[in-house]
Amino acid sequence: EDQVTQSPEALRLQEGESSSLNCSYTVSGLRGLFWYRQDPGKGPEFLFTLYSAGEEKEKERLKATLTKKESFLHITAPKPEDSATYLCAVKSSGTYKYIFGTGTRLKVLA
Amino acid sequence: SQTIHQWPATLVQPVGSPLSLECTVEGTSNPNLYWYRQAAGRGLQLLFYSVGIGQISSEVPQNLSASRPQDRQFILSSKKLLLSDSGFYLCAWSGSGLTIYEQYFGPGTRLTVT
């Protein structure tokens, strides 16, 4: 059964303190791994799609990487506005379904 | 550009009352459409998805149902709400078929069953 596990569940950082969020997955034939940002009371906002091991994508202070078993979302010199829940999802071959992790709640303190 | 709308934004309903949540997508055709529920502090639970008009796949047996009367319209319904139906309901769309497309989410509906 396809499964996604995110860690840590919650993370508190000081402004400027870089860190990484982890997304471990077990899927039969990964076709895509997706990262989303979700602010309280809002729908998830798409950030990145990664297709194959070794791929990296960057956007401002965020960088997503992918291996055959996990993905990392690296946050460099975070700011308070980066505070949100970050969700990871996977899509495997032959299915219309996306499997989501439970997310990492990030709080960046000024 | 594509946009996705959901309404209402918030809803408070008594136990046993009916429910109808609506989702519409603009700027694309023949999208795959999805309904999710998100409990407080939890991940997204897939409820239904649709790959075409009148085609509905149910993921969780419960008192909810979904319909897709038009290409870009997706409706979530219930005849009698339960307390456990409270949550944040999200509609999402992706490109058609099995191609690897990212999903885009609507703003959500906060449902409280009292």
* DSSP assignment of B5-65: EEE-SEEEE-TT--EEEEEEEES-SS-EEEEEEE-TT--EEEEEEEEETTEEEESS-SSEE
Asked if the model's pLDDT at residue A39 lies above 80, the reply is: yes
Asked if the model's pLDDT at residue B99 lies above 80, the reply is: no
Give residue B95's pLDDT. Answer: 86
Q: Decide if A43 and B106 are in contact by the 8 Å CB cutoff.
A: yes
Indicate the average pLDDT of chain A: 95
- pLDDT band for position B74 (50/70/90)? very high
- Work out the average pLDDT over A42-58: 96
What torsion do the CA atoms of A48, A51, A57, A62 make, to the nearest 10 degrees?
A: 50
Torsion region of B61: left, alpha or beta (phi above 0 gives left; psi -120 to 50 gives alpha): beta
Q: Decide if B98 and A95 are in contact by the 8 Å CB cutoff.
A: yes
Q: How far apart are CA B56 and CA B36, in angstroms?
A: 14
In chain A, how many H helices and how many E strands? 0, 11
Burial degree of B50 (CB within 10 A; 0-12, 13-18, 19+): buried
Give residue B61's pLDDT. Answer: 64
Measured between CA atoms, how close is A95 to chain B, in angstroms? 7
More confident residue, A69 or B100: A69
Q: For residue A31, list chain B residues with Cβ-Cβ distance below 8 A.
A: 100
Q: Decide if A87 and B44 are in contact by the 8 Å CB cutoff.
A: yes
Measured between CA atoms, how close is B27 to chain A, in angstroms? 17
Asked if the model's pLDDT at residue B100 lies above 80, the reply is: no
- pLDDT band for position B66 (50/70/90)? very high
Q: For residue A107, list chain B residues with Cβ-Cβ distance below 8 A.
A: none
Give the closest of A93, A95, A98 to B103, CB-based.
A98
Measured between CA atoms, how close is B106 to chain A, in angstroms? 6
Give the closest of A44, A94, A102 to B105, CB-based.
A44
